[in-house]
Structure 1
Amino acid sequence: MKEEIYPIAIEDKMKDAYLNYSLSVIIGRALPDVRDGLKPVHRRILFAARELGLFHSKAHKKSARLVGEVLGKFHPHGDSAVYDAMVRMAQDFNQRYQLIDGQGNFGSIDGDSAAAMRYTETKLTEIAEALLANIDQKTVNFVDNFDGSLQEPEVLPSKIPNLLVNGSSGIAVGMSTSIPPHNLGEVIDALVHLLDYPNARLETIIKNHLPGPDFPTGASIIGNDGIKAAYQSGKGKITLRAKSKIEKKKRHKNLIITEIPYQVNKSKLIEEIAELVNKGKISSVSDLRDESDKKGIRIVIELKANADPELTLNRLYKYTNLQNNFRINLLAINDKKPVVMGLLEILNHFLDFRKEIIKNHSKYNLTKAENRYHILEGLKKAIDQLDIVIDVIRNSEAKKEAKAKLVKKLKISERQAQSILEMQLQRLVGMEFEKLEAEKKDLAQKIKYYKNILNNEEELKSVLRAELKEIKKKFSDPRRTDIIADDSKAEITKNDLIKEKKAIISLSYRGIIKRNDEYKNLRTAKNDYLISTVGGSSLDQLLFFSNQGEVYNLQVHNIEEHHGLATGENLSKYLQIPINESIIDLNILSKNKAKTKNKYYTFVTENGLIKRTEVDEYRTNYSHIRAIKLDEDQLVNVEKTDEASDLIVISKKGYLIRFKGSSFSTTGRNTLGSRAINLIKNDKVLYFSTFENNSFIISISENGRANKIKLSEFETQKRNGKGNRIFSNKSYKLAGAVKAKAGDKILIAAKNGEIYEIEVDQIPETSPAGNMYQITKELDFEKITTVKKIIATN
């Protein structure tokens, strides 16, 4: 032949070659078939085991024998690949229902490898034989093996819905499958329901029959959403969590892990826990040991005397594989193509497959019964005309001649004539004749039965239904994996890692913050005073409002706890506040929204604007956010209020206005607000609070004069008025004002840093627009800059 060379672009050649390789991997190696749920290597292992006679009722044989059979006849891809696949089929921690009965060391959940194939022995399990049932009765197609010397099944006739029951995982080219195992009884219940109600809804199947995967290692599935998503679309993610219990031992409590998530290596899991303890990430563990045996898993985590078991367990869930995610991708081969399917599709494909198998089996048995019936009809004619038969045989020189004469004289087929010639004389005895008649009658019933299956859909369904129920009765077992319906428990949040306890937060004039659990432990350093305290839980959120309209966020549990004589730490350790800002208010947001009494934050600025915003707008995970929109203005104060209470605003030049909270609307977080007070020229707001009938307003001027007036002396006015005078001398300027009661103490700070405290009872009481009295003369104060109410430390 003349040699010809054709130019081909290398891109096209590589594309074709890679595509062929991809299809070979996808179809021939990596993905399971939707019908029997097996990859080619697993199918070939089971078929080869059957060919070797390795049935569950027989003795084990060396694994090397089976591996050699598979390699030599069906799967030339390397002995380790075949043996590893066979080992996995024998492992009770990997297979929900084992298909191989292994004898010897087949590995462990600690990641130990199986012994070499020359040491281990194997045979089929009884449930594996259900996958192979009737394979020799033309139920499935057979194809040539790799060298065309033998035939192998294209698919096993599997009575077991193996794709769902044992699941599958594999990585092909550009795709992967991850199908979790399920409980056999539940899958069959779902199949039977779908057989009876072909239009059944997925929600019904999940609710009443198949709630979710069932793993061989047990554990718990947290939440239903991932299951529903995977069953609906074929893709999803579920959260698996170990099962545990708490055991009391004298003064200590131990955590006992009894079941771990699917495909988690127990030995590595224990190493993970030990590493966390050694690094100090979990400080409540005093000892760790593995007490697992043949009865099951038992990991003992000994806790210190004061440890919280639930808190420790949550930390373990968060940082180790005691809790992990299992990705679901229901990808399988259907009609020689990889397809992602939902649960209903997979179930329907199996039902259609089994119907086809039952039909093929029925056709095989029908043909066999009809052939036998045909033979029996010939034998009956021979017995009825025995003299003719004897005469033909006696007068024929050859078997061929006798066969032809019988066909002609008895009007029978060649097969019937052949069976007459092969008939033993003992069949002519009366009792044997009756047996032939009984067999013929039985065959007639069978022929009718098989034809009914092939021609009647309902009869076909009845056979399939009975078959499924028989499989369930024989092989089903209780569910191992619990399903906890609450999806909110799937994610371990920061709050789950913190022990909830009472928390009292105090902030001093000099910026020292302290956290403890009792008000009686509140203390300050010498020459310092508490100006703010809030109480709540270690799980709550602290908000620090600044004069520049920012709000800084800090979780209570992040503040180090101090007791006894400790005074706390500087706020700068926890918050980085710019030098031009100062904190004007400390507030606490409860993690439980229902506990929030006043639902709003109300703000007042130096320019006399007031704004009210819902508290929930300030729940944030950011380190800080904008609290209020300011336009060349500063924030004076923030109060948690309701919508109706009266409010008071005080200006530097001594004007106080009292108005109703209902006189302005609630707005969003990043807004300016409404006018609270109509300020005179060069005046500004310096104090804002809620109205209290039994309190005083304490006013202190820059030059050390003061008075106190009952708040009830001030009548309610319309918002945006000028307000009422607090003192008569218009030349005085206020350094500050506070709301206080009899017995309270007031902190006064001067420009030079000197501070002084004065009791409310020492300040003269006046009426609105009354005099102010000197209270700091003997201390020779410079200009007063700050006035705060002191929190009693008791």
Structure 2
Amino acid sequence: MSDKPILPGPDGIEPINLRDALEERYLAYALTTIMHRALPDVRDGLKPVHRRIVYAMRELRLDPNGGFLKCAKIVGEVMGDYHPHGNQAIYDALARLAQDFAVRYPLVDGQGNFGNIDGDNPAAERYTEARMTAVAAALLEGIDEECVDFRPNYDGRVQEPAVLPAAFPNLLANGSSGIAVGMATNIPPHNADELCAGLLHLIKHPNATVEKLVEMIPGPDFPTGGVLVEPRDSILEAYKTGRGGFRLRAKWEKEETGRGTYQIVVTEVPYQVQKAKLVERIAELMTEKKLPLLGDVRDESAEEIRLILEPKSRTVDPLLLMESMFRSTELELRFGLNMNVLSAGQVPNVLGLRDVLRQWLEHRVDVLVKRSQFRLRKIEHRLEVLDGYLVAYLNIDEVIRIVRFEDDPKAKLITRFKLTEVQADAILNLRLKSLSKLEEVEIRAEHDKLSKERRELQQLLKSDELQWERIASEVKQVRETYSKSTPLGRRRTSFADAPTIDVDLDAALIEKEPITIVLSDKGWVRALKGHVDDLTKLEFKQGDKLKRAIKASTTDKLLLLATNGKVFTLEASLLPGGRGHGEPVRLMIDLEENHDISDAFPYQPGRKLLIASTGGYGFIVPEDEVVASTRKGKQVLNVTEPEEAKLIVPVPVGADHVAILGDNRKMLIFKLEEINEMTRGKGVILQKSKEGALADARVFKKADGLTWTDSAGRTFTLSWSELKEWVGARAQSGRLVPKGFPRSNSFGPAF
């Protein structure tokens, strides 16, 4: 035995760069996944496993009008001859092709339990039976006529088709989805009648625009129905680029139940939503109190879907209830469009609607040409044989003599009558009982008929116009078979515009309850249930105390003014409960360590606010402009250290004057119109002060007078005539406050 190493290099080891090895192997894996597993072929709309299942069923002669066969037998044939993978994976693919709630135009006619829309699995393959549907038969039409390429199977024993003839526009009709390496595909199903209308238009107008095609193919048609609420512009853009999405909603109706009560009946759920899991999820959300408008949910489905949603009370608006359900549950979903397909079975690319239709038509022309050429060869062979028969008929006695007495009758027939080998073989293979049928009239009749067909085929192969006419005729036949007037062809998904809801849905989804928000001096926040007036029993951490107590509701937003002039927004419903000391507000917002919260108040849309700094600068800002959407807050008042943002006070409707109070207990009153309205900035000087800083402000109506509240909760009001000595112009220093003004140097709660 030789000691020579098997592998090249020292000790039989060949050094390879690890990066090169990994790249090469991963690329091979990626290409296999893309081409042989995840992406469909644009021509027949099938992935290899589906193509092999359909072809194997044909080989087993499971025609639409024939008998059924156990799925275990079908799976075994597919696995043994074409698809060397697990039988469960093959059976799952086969079962899905039979599910009318998963496939718009099923390719498999199943007998037995093939699963349901609740998500239950099909019965085992030994219990179920299947055969092809008419759609699958259309995909295979003409496959014996050398119209598509075949390739060796995985072990080279048999041949399998690389693509099917596809006389049905399967890619768009049934859709497809898959995840490859670095790319994915997601194509929704469409209506075959509409697709054929678009194809016929494209045949007649090869340069048709997508806008025109979308008039005939307005959008997907899902097997489970539903309502498309995607705007037309978005649909158009998606079909142009091959990327986009469609908002799909459940179909529902209001059903009166007597005495002013009602219930919502859902009759169609979005595509690929499992009904049982949907009901389970709705029940979970109800338990978590995230669906406050919903009272109960139950499933009364039998053959047809019937999902019952009961409102919390008869006063709940059904439209608002359903909008809240669409937002929180899978009663609405977005079905993505990513038309990533294999062109010519080789090139993965994202195609628009027009290109997908065009490439299918080009494939049909290619199939037509190859089928015509195959038929032409068959006709020419038959005509050659008929010519030989005619010679034999006219010289029957001589032919019989040659066959009986000559040593090499074939050669003698060829030389005697100038026949071809094919003709000579055909004559020699005739049985004696067939001689009586060799009548000249019949031979000539068949000869004339085939000659005519040959001329037509030759003209067809020479004329593009005739080829497109034949394709149009085939498409019309498909359209007629699957027209919208048929049970299978009727459009199931309808179109509608999403209703405009004026109510804040976010607030509607939260159960409205009164709360008291407590903010401590050191920035701890909590929400007590109800509106609490007595806060003396509240406990705080050592060294901490009450800063603000705000009466609000769970549906409110809390606005926080920081000393750096930023405003932060918190959802009241998400604040920690009243047990304990709450949580530091810094955990909820991004506030710098050297700054603090100076004021807090509930958000009220449409209101205006006066914002001011300790330096006496300020401006009026619309409250809608200060709401922040992120943890980082929104910069509203620009301040320069050591000044700080001090306060925000509301501007009542019709207010015309403002009172400014300084730390030096001097008060100034001037017209509100002297203050600028801005959305961000430093503002204008409100009150000048040589010592101290701005302490408080109050905006009021001249006719109502100026009101303040002391520490005991008593309210005092000075009329305009009593306030005249404090009235001046903006930026003055003002005069000392009136007698009896609170020692706290504050007008009291502003909100």
* 1:9 and 2:20 aligned: no
Per the alignment, residue 323 of structure 1 pairs with 332
1:715-767 Cα distance to aligned partner (Å, 9 max, x none): 998765x49x8xxxxxx72169xxxxxxxxxxx7644xxxxxxxxxxxxxxxx
Match of 1:59 among 39, 57, 67: 67
Shift of residue 376, structure 1, vs aligned partner: 4.1
- Give the conservation status (yes or no) of the 8 Å contact 1:219–1:482: yes
Q: How does 1:486-565 map to 2 (within 5 A)?
A: 486=498, 494-495=506-507, 497-498=509-510, 543=559, 549=565, 551=567, 553=569
Contact kept, 8 Å, 1:239 with 1:324, in 2: the verdict is yes
Over aligned residues, Cα RMSD in angstroms? 4.9
TM-score, normalised to structure 2, is 0.77
Query: 2:367 aligned with 1:357, yes or no?
Result: yes
TM-superposition CA deviations, 1:378-434 (whole Å, max 9, x none): 555666xx3x554454466557866556655655544345556649544565xx61x
Q: Helix, strand or coil: the match of 2:348?
A: strand
Whether 1:92 and 2:100 are equivalent positions in the alignment is yes
Counterpart for residue 49 of structure 2: 41
Question: Would you say the 8 A contact 1:605–1:637 is kept in 2?
Answer: no
Equivalent residue for 1:617, pick from 615, 625, 631: 625
Of the candidates 167, 179, 184, which is equivalent to residue 159 of structure 1?
A: 167
Distance in 1, matches of 2:420 and 2:115, equals 62
How far off is 1:50 after superposition? 1.3
Deviations 1:343-376 (A, max 9, x none): 3333222122111111111111122223333444
Q: How far apart in 1 are the matches of 2:677 and 2:747?
A: 30
Q: How far 1:93 moved relative to its partner?
A: 1.8
Deviates more, 1:16-25 or 1:452-461: 16-25
Read off the aligned partner of 2:380 and give its amino acid letter. Answer: E
How far residue 615 of structure 1 moved from its aligned partner, in angstroms, is 4.5
- State the SS of the aligned residue for 1:38: coil
- CA gap 1:714/1:468 in 2 versus in 1, 3 angstroms: farther
Q: Which has the larger radius of gyration?
A: 1
- The residue that corresponds to 2:217 in the other structure is 210
Matched, 1:292 2:298: no
Q: Do the aligned partners of 2:45 and 2:170 also contact (CA within 8 Å) in 1?
A: yes
Report if the CA contact (8 A) 2:620-2:678 is conserved: yes
What amino acid sits opposite 2:358 in the alignment? N
Q: Would you say the 8 A contact 2:555–2:573 is kept in 1?
A: yes
Residue identity in the other structure for 2:7: I
Which range moved further: 308-317 or 103-112?
Answer: 308-317
Partner secondary structure for residue 111 of structure 1: coil
Structure 1 residues without counterparts, runs of 5 or longer: 517-521, 561-568, 591-595, 726-731, 737-747, 752-783
For residues 112 and 556 of structure 1, do their structure 2 counterparts lie closer, same or farther at Cα, with a shift above 3 Å needed?
closer
* 1:456 paired residue number: 463
Q: Name the structure 1 match of 2:745.
A: 785
Equivalent residue number for residue 250 of structure 2: 242
CA shift, 1:474, in A, is 0.6
Amino acid across the alignment from 1:161: P
Q: Residue 399 and residue 186 in structure 1: after superposition, are their counterparts in 2 closer, same or farther (change >3 A)?
A: farther
Separation of aligned partners in 2, 1:147 and 1:263:
36
Report if aligned partners of 2:460, 2:466 keep a CA contact under 8 Å in 1: yes
Q: 1:665 to 1:197 in 2, by over 3 A?
A: farther
For the pair 1:478 / 2:481, whether they are aligned, the reply is no
Match of 1:769 in 2: none
Q: How does 1:44-443 map to 2 (within 5 A)?
A: 44-173=52-181, 175-205=183-213, 207-224=214-231, 227=235, 230-250=238-258, 252-282=261-291, 287-294=296-303, 296-305=304-313, 308=316, 309-310=318-319, 312-337=321-346, 339-343=348-352, 344-377=354-387, 386=394, 390-391=397-398, 393-394=400-401, 397-398=404-405, 407=414, 411-416=418-423, 419=426, 422=430, 424-426=434-436, 429=439, 433=441, 435-443=442-450
* Stretch deviating more after TM superposition (24-33 or 9-18): 9-18
Asked whether the 8 Å contact 1:505–1:515 carries over to 2, the reply is yes
What residue ranges of structure 2 are gaps of 5+ in the alignment? 484-488, 519-524, 537-547
Question: CA shift at 1:106, angstroms?
Answer: 1.6
Q: Indicate whether 1:629 and 2:641 are aligned.
A: no
Shift of 1:582: 5.6
| Cα distance, 1:546–1:197 mapped onto 2, change above 3 Å | same
Query: How many residues get paired?
Result: 698
Structure 1 residue 681: deviation in Å?
4.3
Contact 1:407 1:414 in 2 (8 A): yes
Secondary structure of 1:136's partner? helix
Which moved further from structure 2: 166-175 or 408-417? 408-417
1:289 match: secondary structure: strand
* Letter aligned with residue 447 of structure 2: K
Counterparts in 2 of 1:459 and 1:496: CA distance versus 1, 3 Å: farther
Match of 2:474?
A: 467
Structure 2 residue identity aligned to 1:358: L
Q: Report if aligned partners of 1:695, 1:710 keep a CA contact under 8 Å in 2.
A: no
Kindly tell me: are residues 163 and 581 of structure 1, through their superposed partners in 2, closer, same or farther at Cα, counting changes over 3 Å? closer
Structure 1 residue 56: Cα displacement = 1.0
Q: In the TM superposition, what are the counterparts of 1:636-675 in structure 2 within 5 Å?
A: 638-640=649-651, 647-648=657-658, 656=668, 658=670, 661=673, 666-669=677-680, 671-675=681-685
Tell me if structure 1 keeps the 8 A contact 2:610–2:650: yes
Which letter does structure 1 place at the counterpart of 2:82? F
Per the alignment, do residues 5 and 787 of structure 1 end up closer, same or farther by CA in structure 2, a change over 3 Å counting?
closer
Tell me which moved more, 356-365 or 183-192. 183-192
Would the alpha carbon gap of residues 27 and 664 (structure 1) be closer, same or farther in structure 2, given more than 3 Å must change?
same
Secondary structure of 1:446's counterpart equals: helix
Q: 1:137: how far off? A: 0.8
Report the Cα offset of residue 302 of structure 1: 3.9
SS of 1:359's partner is: helix
**Quick one: structure 1 residues 645 and 48, their matched pair in 2 at CA, closer, same or farther if it must change by over 3 Å?**
same
CA contact (8 A) 1:284 1:304 kept: yes
Contact 1:37/1:162 (8 A) holds in 2: yes
In 1, are the aligned partners of 2:254 and 2:262 still within 8 Å (CA)? yes
Q: 3-state SS of the aligned residue for 2:264? A: strand
Give the deviation of 1:125 after TM superposition: 0.8
Stretch deviating more after TM superposition (685-694 or 15-24): 685-694
Would the aligned equivalents of 1:697 and 1:708 in 2 still touch at CA under 8 Å? Answer: yes
| 1:22 and 1:173 in contact (8 A); partners too | yes
Name the % identity: 33
Deviation at 1:689, TM superposition (A): 6.1
The whole-number CA distance in structure 2 between the counterparts of 1:236 and 1:44 is 31
Contact 2:710–2:748 (CA under 8 A) maintained in structure 1: no
Report SS of the residue matched to 1:785.
Answer: coil
The aligned amino acid for 2:494 is D
Q: 2:185 & 2:116 partners in 1: Cα distance?
A: 24
In the alignment, the residues of structure 2 paired with residue 229 and residue 523 of structure 1 have an alpha-carbon distance, to the nearest angstrom, of 55
AA in 2 matched with 1:479: R
Change over 3 Å in CA distance of 1:399–1:83 after alignment to 2: farther
The worse-fitting range, judged by mean Cα deviation, of 403-412 and 618-627 is 403-412
SS in 1 for 2:472: helix
Q: CA–CA distance in 1 between the matches of 2:100 and 2:720? A: 83
Check 1:614–1:92 CA distance in 2 against 1; reply closer, same or farther (3 A cut).
same
CA distance in 2, matches of 1:365, 1:287: 66
Per-residue CA shift, 1:546-581, capped at 9, x if unaligned?
888554546688899xxxxxxxx99x9899699986
Q: Is the 8 A contact 2:661 2:696 kept in 1?
A: yes
1:280-308 Cα distance to aligned partner (Å, 9 max, x none): 444565554332222x2222344444573
Question: In 1, distance between residues paired with 2:182 and 2:710?
Answer: 78
